Amino acid sequence: MRGSLRGTRLAAVLASVLLLFGTATACGSGEDSGTDDGKPAASGGAFPVTIAHKYGTTTVKSEPKRIVTVGLTDQDAVLALGKVPVGTTEWNGGYKGAIGPWARDELGDAETPTVLKDTGTGPQTEKIAALRPDLILAVYGGLAKEQYETLSKFAPVVAQPKEYNDFGVPWQRQTEIIGTALGQQTKAKELVKGVQADFKAATAEHPAFAGADAVMATPYDGIFVFGSQDPRSRVLTDLGFTLPADLDKVIGDEFGANISKERTDLLDTDAIVWIVADPAEDEAKLGKNPLYADLKVAQQDREVYVKESSDYGNAISFVTVLSLPYTLDRLVPQLAAAVDGKPATKVTQPAS
């Protein structure tokens, strides 16, 4: 797997059980209260706001000016809400400031954020402290409690919500949580409604999506499939597709897993989205795998191939309020071709 699917994401998940060491002096703090209902709550105007998460609750007392995003895709919601982070965390794409092409208009002429790294050992504590943050966002992330406590010495930290797997928060909740932290609950809801309208338009235009089943996968160490808790799979279900019935039972309580040869049947869906290094090469390799090549999804060319290192491939893994319109413009026509009931219809690559 490359960046979006292999290194950082998997390393970050593993890193959630590691400790983060730091020698920091306090310059801000999150405040824990006795309630933790999993929902953001505001008291008295825009601020202060109190947000529940995996490790309790955090109170943001006033409008944040210097925001650092530790969550791997949190910068998109911040930008969509009219703020520019002073620091972002690099995940995939290698983009300047960790800002993808789908978010550049929102960045505009503002100063490009400082890019932080997470190589699997946790956030870069000293570099985060040097940015003098007054809010640290780790919503789409997997902070360990020790990491959360260390970062809380610098500023209020909004960690991942407890009701989802690490790295499993839906883009709608991510946007709403960050909107609350920035005192922009109403705008966040409007942004969510706007993207949901894009999904509704796509499903209305393509009724064949409803009731069809689909799955996202990648040929990593065999075949790796994404489960229902992964944001990528939710793109399919939001478009009306269903996931294979036994998918979560097979992969367990994870965002995805490699499947055994005996469970290749999970791939025999009405459409399959392959996230691959090279569409042409990987399609040829999969065609030589007799267990896969004998499935109807392969024989009837109901496959969508997405180059993981392309802007499109990066966007399909980001799954944010800004990346989703970019993704849908490319993915929906491919899925429509895959499920039109005509094997002769070729699923073409988007122009850009």
Over residues 4-11, the mean pLDDT reads 41
Confidence of residue 250 (pLDDT cuts 50, 70, 90): very high
Give the per-residue pLDDT at 12: 40
Residue 347 in this model has a pLDDT that exceeds 70: yes
Residue appearing with tokens 């994404």:
226
Residue 177 in this model has a pLDDT that exceeds 70: yes
By mean pLDDT, which of 10-24, 132-146, 170-184, 253-267 is the weakest? 10-24
Give the per-residue pLDDT at 45: 60
* Cβ atoms within 10 Å, residue 47: 16
Residue 27 in this model has a pLDDT that exceeds 70: no
Query: Could you tell me the pTM of the whole model?
Result: 0.86
Give the per-residue pLDDT at 93: 81
Share of the chain above pLDDT 70, in %: 87
Average per-residue pLDDT for the chain: 88
Q: How far apart are CA 61 and CA 315, in angstroms?
A: 33
Over residues 222-237, the mean pLDDT reads 95
pLDDT by residue (tens digit) across 32-74?
333 333 444 443 468 999 999 999 999 999 999 999 999 999 9
Confidence of residue 330 (pLDDT cuts 50, 70, 90): very high
Residue 170 in this model has a pLDDT that exceeds 70: yes
